[in-house]
A = this chain, B = another copy of it.
């Protein structure tokens, strides 16, 4: 979770060797490594992508949590998706020319930075990899689909339940769930901003769910107590693909 040092070379990258990710050929990895500018650590709260700027770099989240959001003039903020290790950052902004969103670190974070021009050149050199880039873009859209659906259609209790179920799915796919417990470093305010609820109501609803015996959540330690209860409350769920690409 903390700023684990990233390996110097993609070939020895332990993250991409995880079960959750599709394998690449050594040549593909070599070309990707050539496009890589190196890794960089950021502290919790740091801004990875500033909303509104042009020239956004492309990066892969190597360790830690981040989130993508849009800020409004009135000071409110919609969190569009949470980002976990292996997730691609900045593709949409790099494509469109400017960032219509911001990305911020939730925890200490390490990212792998890429040279944008060299990533673009993958479209000519490695068709499979450029295909996977598009795949990752589609997945990014799907994550926002979740956010929109949950915050648009469900009651507060259901929103929280669905959100947690979907999140736990993602964590499990990354091997970040041990038994029934995992680390979820999301403050209440961020939960509220993701789900379209007020801070106060988020807190109260969270308490209610814990009184229902669905889970226990203190600090960053989350323990799922009764998945059946949570599922019944949720009324909405979606499974994570078994294998996915990583740049």
| Count of this chain's copies in the oligomeric assembly | 2
Cβ B124 vs Cβ A196 within 8 A: no
Looking at the assembled complex, report how far the CB atom of A205 sits from the nearest CB atom of chain B, in whole angstroms: 16
Cβ B131 vs Cβ A236 within 8 A: no
**A130-B134, A131-B120, A148-B78 as given contacts; A142 in contact with B96, CB under 8 Å:** yes
Interface residues of A in 228-246 (CB under 8 A from B): 235-236, 238, 241
A interface secondary structure, majority: helix
Cα-based distance from A130 to B235 in the complex (angstroms):
37
B residues less than 8 Å from A148 (CB atoms): 78, 80, 144, 147-148, 151-152
B residues less than 8 Å from A101 (CB atoms): 145
From B70, B97, B138, A137 is in contact (CB under 8 Å) with: B138
From B100, B147, B236, B241, A72 is in contact (CB under 8 Å) with: B236
Count how many chain A residues have C-beta atoms less than 8 Å from C-beta atoms of the other chain.
Answer: 46
For A70, A97, A149, A236, the residue with the greatest tally of chain B CB atoms inside 10 Å of its CB is A149
A140 at the interface (CB under 8 A from B): yes
Cα-based distance from A154 to B196 in the complex (angstroms):
9
Q: Which residues of A contact B (CB under 8 A)?
A: 70, 72-74, 76-78, 80, 91-92, 95-97, 100-101, 120, 123-124, 127-128, 130-131, 133-135, 137-142, 144-145, 147-149, 151-154, 195-196, 235-236, 238, 241
